[in-house]
Each structure stands twice: as C-alpha cells, then as structure tokens.
C-alpha cells in the first residue's frame, strides 16, 4: 500500500540487482535516474499509478533481463533505445496508454522470449522484422490500433508458443506461413477485420486454444479426418462461415469450449458432438441451423452450457438432456421447438439458467422443476404452454415476463384464474332403491319396453349427430383446402388501406414482404397492427413502431418509416436493408425483413418484450430500479453492439436510451441502428432535426458542416448514455428556473471528488466505488469535444472488461 513518487536517488544503489515495487499505489512519473542502476537484472514496477512518458536512457541498463511496467498509466512513445538492452528476455508493457509505432531497435532483442504490448495505443503496421526475433515464445500485441495485414514473417518464429493479435484493425487474410510455427499452442486473432477462409494449419499444429471470433472470415470449417486432438478452446463466433458444421469435429477429443455462434451455417446440430466427453461449453447460437436436437448430445457428459438459441431447430427437446448432470446453463430460445418441456430437466441439480422462450412448446410446466436448488432464471415466454404454474421456492417469485404470451397458463402470476376442479358426477344405479322416494310396484314388461324405446332414441340421436359432424368436418376441410390453394398461388402480401392482407391479385403498386430467414411472412388474420393505434409501441425520429404476430405465432415489431420522401430508390433501399439484416449480434435487435412500396416502407424486427431502457431508468419505482450489476451489464452490452456495428462500417446515428431495449432476461438490445443509410445523403441537419430528436445525445460536430460525421458521433452518444444509466438522470433536465446538463453535473462532481453522490440514489449506495469511478471517467472521455480524443468502441469494450471487479461485481456498499 505504498504511495507517493519513486525517489530519484534510487539511482544511487549501483550494485542493486533486483527492484520490485509492484502492486502499490506509486504515482508520478518514472524517474530517469532509475536507468543509472546498470547492475540491475530485474525491474518490476507493475500495477501502480505511474504516469507520463518512459524516459530515454534505458540503454544504460546493459544487464537488464526483465522489465515489467504493466498496469500503469504511462503515455508517449516507447524509447527508441529500448532495443539496446541486448540481454532483455522479458518486456511487459500491458495495460498502459503508450502510443506510436514500434521502434526499429526492438529487433535487436535476439534473446527476448516474452513481449507483451497488450492494451495500449500502438499504431501503424506490424513491421516484418518481427520475424527476426527468433526466440520469441510469447508475442501479445492485442488491443492496440495496429492496422494493415499480419506480416507473413511471423512464420519464422519457430519457438513461438502464444500469438495474440486480437482487438486491432488487421485486414486481409491470415497468413498460411504461420504453419511454420511448429511449437504454437495458442492463437487469438479475434476482433479484427480479417477476411478470406480459415487457414488450413489451425487443426494441423498442436494448438490448444484457437480464437478467430468477430472477423469477416468466410467459407467452411476445415476439420480434417485426422487431426491433433490437443485443441481445448475453439472460438470461431461472429464471422460469415458457411456450409455444414463438420461431423469430424468429434475428432477434437480434448475440446472443452466450442463456440461457432453467429455464423451462416446450414444443416443440423452434428450427432457427433455427443462424442466430445470433455466439452463444457457448446455455443451454436444464431448459426442458421435446422433439424432436430440429437438425443446423442447426452454423450457430452461434461457439458455445463448448451446455447442453441436463434436458430430454426424443430422437433421436441430430447429428454436425454436430463443426463447431462453438470449442466448449469440451457438456452434453446428463438427456435421452432414443439412438444412438452421434459420433466427430466429436474434431474439437473446444478441448473441455474433456462431460456426456452420464443418456441412452440406445449403442455404444462413440469412441477418437478420447482425442486431445482440452484435455479435463478427460467424463461418460457412466447410459447403455447397451458395449465397451472408450479408452486415452490423458485416459481413463487418468478418474474411474470418469463411466463408471458402463453395463453393457456393460469395462476396468480399471470393474473388468470385456473378453472375450478369439479367433483366427478355421481352415477346412480337405476336398479337401486331410493329411500327418499316412495316405492311403487314396477311392471317388468313396461320397464323392458321403455328401455328398448330409450335405446332406439339414443341410437337415432347419435346417428344424427354423427351425420351432422361428418358434414361439418367435410365442409371445413374443403374450405381449408380452397384457402390453402389460394395461399399457395399467392406469394405476394399486399398492403391495402393500412392492413397487411393476402390477395389473389396484384398490380403495379403492390408491395412484397421479404423475410430474411425464409419464414412464412403471413400475418395472423385480422391483425392490422400497421394501422391500429392500439398496437403502437412507440414513435421516434424515423417512424412509428407497432406490434404484430406472424402466422406461426411469433411476435414481431414493425417500424413504419415516416421519412418516405427522403428514402432512397427501391434498389438502394433493399441493398442497404439486406446489409443491415446480416448484422447479427446478441446485443442488437435482429432485423427480420422488410416491405417496400414507393409511398410506404416497413422494417420488420424481432419483438423485445422487456421495454426500453428509458422507461426502466426514468419511469420505474425504487423497488424495481435496475441494480448496479444490471446497469453495468447493459453498458457492456451496448458497447459490444456498437463495436460490432463499427467493425462492419455501420454508424448508428440515433443512440439514446429509448432505442435500447431490454429482453425478458434484462440483456440490452440496441435498435434503430444504421437507418440513416436509407436516406439519399447523410444531411446532418436532416439527421439532427428528424432523427436526433432527444436533446443531449448529439455530438457537437453535427453543428459544423466542415467536420466529417464518423463513428465518433456514436461514441459521444454512448458516453452520454453511460452517464444517464449511472445517474438515472436525463441528459438535459428542465427545472422550474434552471436547466441542468448531465455531463456538466457529473464532471463537476468528479473534479470535487464526490462521484458517489451522482450515482442513482435508488441504488441506496449498493455499488462498488472501484467500478463506478472508472466507468464515470470512461463516459466523460467518450464525450470529449474533439472527436479524435474519443476512444474506439473496441477500446471501450476492453476497458469495461478490465474495470469489472474480479468477483463479477457483487453488489456491496461503497467504500
């Protein structure tokens, strides 16, 4: 817990061989006198609060073997003479703000085995001479601003074991020459803009960890029949990979983590996945898969997480999943699954999260599930479930949103009484005597006669009823066939008088509904959400949003654009919309399709049931206010979605709390993204008046025609949104005799050392101050007046992940 500056007279210890001051609170700049310790072999000043540039003169430390300055706040460029420390074996500068290009002298470090420049601001291209550092075992250049192509000379590093280049701006394909790194064990190329196919060497080298997530890679996954089984982690998520998921993936017997989510695969979940005995995480979210879930999945006995949401899977949930005894997380939402919820899930005593929403599941919720001891979330909304909701520890407090849109469910939670259970009717024996009725002599002959007459009457009635029933069924079937034939003959949905309806005739003015996933675009008969104000969800700068329901029961949100006079031609409109439809990310509201006519344009999105962030921040009571963890997760989710948009060249332009939706589990979903691209030109005055309708989020450069509008505008809006989420206050609030600007209020509080007073009072002090202060600072950096001073969204994501406390931010009192 030492604090203060490093004394300059530390250089007066000429025989000092090792200096370790790591893990303190030392501040100030690094004194140049420290380089006078020419006998020093190891220098560790990591995890302090040192600032300023690294002074020149390090070349005097000719005995230096190891230097670590990680986890400080150092800036400026790396000294040009750093390569003169010829005996240096380890250089760790992780987690600073050092900038500029790599000095050429680094290539002289011929004995260096460890080089980490992670999480800085280095820029430019990675020079080819990096391949001359022959004995390098770890090269970590991740989360910087490097650009250009990855140098093929890296393939000359025969001793390399760890290669991390994630979070940069690398383009082009992954060099095949890296196959020359025979000792490579871990590669991380995630969060770049790499294109082309996956390199053939990824399954041929002895790699243990492979990550190519969040790039633009295409083609198939080249798993050979004969493969090194040493791979433990394989993350190829958020690319444009296609084809079938290869059955040969079962050859990766050491696999523990498999993430192929958000790609464009076809086919079904491979049966062979059940052969991966060590697999703990299986993530095929948003892969475009169809078919049924194989029962053989039970063979993956170590599974802890199964993520199959956002696909087109059909059939029933296999009961064999109940044999995956280690399972803690199960997500099969947004599919077309049918049948009942397996009671076998009650065998999974470690299960904490279940999401089966947005399917076609039927039957009742198994009562045995109420006995699961660790269950925290159980979302079965938007299905066809029926019956009473189980009682028990968990289901007594389950949020009603987790059960919504199941018309057959009943009970207090869904505010629908269950039908009373009536006693079985009493059947009287006609031959028994009734003591309450005076007995009279019975003529056996007359009784027999009446019984025969009654039987004949009954038979006649039954026959008549059967005849009528058969007639009704016949007429109904014929009508259905006529309608079905009419439907098949009509591939066009017309918009007439504000109603989406099906018509057997078309004309030049008719429009067509296009669904990107190829699903049936027909809406439920009588559903006229586009014109019915009762179904209106909200209005914004681009238009009004309505709720509608597809014929398969899936709810959707329809945005009716009110900028029709500004929208591009049909060809340009469809091209832009289809590009937006490909932007799949867990924190984006997915675009499902569109409708076009010259006078009317509709965009079809997934319906998000949890409402928008504005209502949660400004219209909720103290008891229902968002917790600190929920707010942090929302900020992180928004940042990840914006980073995904910016990597794909899309600017949001309209970021505000009303355009951030929360799903039933509280996860943030950003909507209204990229719609400005539908306009013929990005006229900032049109944007500021029609789109940026809420004061406070608009970047200052909108006021100047000479300044180019870039993704830095989104980062400004994000910064304002961060402050709004933390404080629970609007960007601009009008009081009776004053106007309060949120960013000015927070900046003043930070300068005066009272940040905790700005955090939403509804949290009642339950937030970690060690997270709150850095997030506030990050928000203020994002709203810098000069666009170039704002960080990129990739950097923002990385910073937020670093800010989050190791204990995953449990809610505790401020200190």
Annotated binding residues for ATP, written as ranges, equal: 560
Determine contact, residues 661/612, Cβ cutoff 8 Å: yes
Classify burial at 507, counting beta carbons within 10 Å of its beta carbon; exposed 0-12, middle 13-18, buried 19 or more: exposed
User: In this structure, are residues 361 and 355 in contact, taking their beta carbons and an 8 Å threshold?
Assistant: no
699, two tokens: 């970047």
The residue whose two tokens read 């590669």 is 187
Hey, CA dihedral for 376, 379, 385, 389, is it positive or negative? Answer: positive
* Annotated binding-site residue numbers: 560
**Three-class SS of 162-197:** EEECCCCEEECCCCHHHHHCCCCCEEECCCCCCCCE
Closest CA to 670 of 649, 687, 655: 655
DSSP state of 688: I
Strands (E), 395-524: 408-410, 493-496, 499-502, 512-515
Distance CA 150, CA 225 (A): 29
State whether the Cα torsion 528-532-537-541 is positive or negative. Answer: positive
Question: Dihedral angle at the C-alpha atoms of 691, 693, 694, 697, nearest 10 degrees?
Answer: 40
Burial class (CB in 10 A: 0-12, 13-18, 19+), 470: exposed
Residue 229 has phi, psi (to 5 degrees) of -80, 15
Helices 712-727 and 793-803, packing angle to 10 deg: 30
Sequence-distant (≥ 6) Cβ neighbours of residue 43 within 8 angstroms: 18, 19, 34, 37, 61, 64, 66, 67, 68
Burial 573-612 (b: 16+ CB within 10 A, else e): beebbeebbebbbbbbbbbbbbbbeeeebbbbbbbbbbbb
Three-state DSSP class for residue 798: helix
Single out the residue of 466, 401, 483, 488 nearest to residue 666, CA to CA. 401
Token look-up 């006669």 returns: 449
């Amino acid at each position: 817990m030492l604090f203060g500056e490093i004394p300059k007279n530390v250089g007066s210890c000429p025989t000092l061989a090792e200096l370790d001051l790591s893990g303190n609170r030392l501040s100030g700049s690094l004194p140049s006198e420290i380089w006078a310790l020419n006998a020093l072999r190891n220098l560790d000043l990591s995890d302090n609060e040192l600032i300023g540039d690294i002074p020149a003169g390090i070349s005097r430390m000719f005995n230096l073997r190891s230097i670590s300055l990680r986890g400080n706040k150092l800036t400026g460029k790396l000294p040009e003479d750093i390569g003169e420390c010829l005996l240096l074996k380890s250089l760790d500068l992780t987690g600073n703000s050092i900038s500029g290009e790599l000095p050429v002298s680094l290539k002289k470090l011929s004995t260096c085995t460890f080089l980490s420049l992670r999480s800085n601001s280095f820029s430019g291209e990675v020079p080819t001479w990096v391949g001359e550092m022959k004995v390098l075992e770890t090269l970590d250049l991740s989360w910087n601003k490097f650009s250009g192509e990855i140098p093929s000379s890296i393939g000359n590093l025969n001793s390399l074991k760890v290669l991390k280049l994630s979070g940069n701006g690398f383009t082009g394909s992954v060099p095949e020459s890296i196959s020359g790194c025979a000792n490579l064990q871990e590669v991380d190329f995630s969060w770049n803009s790499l294109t082309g196919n996956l390199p053939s060497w990824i399954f041929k080298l002895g790699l243990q960890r492979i990550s190519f997530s969040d790039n633009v890679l295409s083609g198939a996954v080249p798993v050979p029949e004969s493969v090194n089984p040493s791979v433990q982690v394989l993350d190829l998520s958020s690319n444009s990979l296609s084809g079938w998921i290869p059955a040969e993936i079962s050859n990766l017997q050491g696999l523990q983590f498999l993430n192929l989510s958000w790609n464009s695969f076809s086919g079904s979940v491979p049966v062979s996945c059940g052969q991966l005995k060590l697999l703990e995480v299986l993530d095929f979210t948003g892969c475009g898969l169809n078919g049924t879930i194989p029962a053989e999945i039970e063979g993956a006995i170590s599974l802890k997480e199964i993520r199959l949401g956002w696909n087109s899977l059909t059939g029933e949930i296999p009961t064999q999943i109940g044999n995956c005894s280690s399972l803690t997380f199960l997500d099969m939402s947004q599919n077309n699954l049918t049948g009942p919820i397996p009671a076998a899930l009650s065998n999974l005593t470690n299960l904490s999260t279940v999401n089966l929403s947005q399917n076609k599941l039927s039957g009742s919720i198994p009562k045995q599930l109420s006995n699961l001891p660790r269950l925290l979330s159980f979302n079965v909304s938007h299905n066809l479930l029926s019956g009473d909701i189980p009682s028990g520890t968990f289901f007594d407090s389950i949020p009603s949103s987790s059960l919504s849109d199941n018309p057959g469910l009943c009970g207090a939670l869904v505010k629908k009484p269950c039908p009373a259970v009536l006693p079985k009717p009493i059947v009287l024996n006609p031959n028994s005597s009734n003591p309450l009725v005076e007995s009279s002599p019975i003529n056996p002959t007359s009784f027999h006669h009446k019984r025969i007459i009654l039987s004949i009457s009954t038979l006649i009635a039954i026959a008549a009823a059967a005849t009528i029933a058969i007639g009704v069924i016949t007429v109904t079937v014929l009508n259905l066939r006529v309608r079905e034939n009419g439907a098949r003959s009509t591939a066009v949905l017309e918009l007439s008088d504000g109603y989406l309806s099906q018509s057997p005739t078309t004309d030049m003015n008719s429009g067509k509904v296009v669904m990107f996933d190829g699903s049936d675009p027909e809406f439920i008969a009588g559903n006229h959400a586009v014109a019915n104000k009762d179904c209106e969800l909200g209005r914004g700068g681009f238009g009004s949003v309505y709720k509608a329901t597809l014929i398969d029961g899936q709810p959707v949100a329809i945005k009716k654009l009110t900028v029709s006079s500004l929208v591009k031609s049909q060809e340009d409109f469809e091209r832009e919309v289809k590009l937006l439809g490909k932007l799949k990310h867990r924190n984006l509201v997915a675009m499902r399709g569109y409708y076009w006519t010259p006078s009317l344009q509709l965009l079809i999105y997934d319906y998000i049931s949890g409402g928008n962030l504005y209502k949660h921040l400004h219209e909720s009571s103290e008891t229902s206010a968002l917790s600190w963890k929920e707010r942090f997760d929302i900020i992180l989710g928004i940042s990840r979605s914006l980073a995904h948009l910016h990597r794909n060249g899309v600017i949001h332009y309209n970021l505000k709390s009303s355009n951030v939706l929360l799903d039933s589990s509280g996860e943030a979903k950003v909507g209204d993204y990229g719609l400005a691209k539908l306009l013929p030109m990005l006229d900032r005055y049109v944007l500021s008046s029609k789109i940026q309708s809420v004061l406070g989020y608009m970047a200052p450069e909108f006021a100047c025609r000479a300044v180019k509008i870039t993704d830095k505008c989104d980062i400004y809006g994000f910064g304002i949104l961060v402050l709004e989420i933390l404080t629970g206050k609007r960007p601009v609030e009008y009081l009776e005799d004053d106007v309060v600007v949120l960013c000015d209020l927070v900046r003043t509080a930070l300068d005066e050392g009272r940040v905790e007073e700005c955090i939403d009072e509804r949290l009642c002090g339950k937030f970690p101050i060690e997270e709150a202060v850095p997030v506030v600072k990050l928000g203020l950096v994002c709203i810098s007046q000069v666009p170039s001073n704002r960080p990129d969204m990739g950097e923002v994501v990385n910073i937020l992940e670093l800010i989050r406390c190791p204990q995953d931010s449990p809610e505790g009192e401020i200190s």
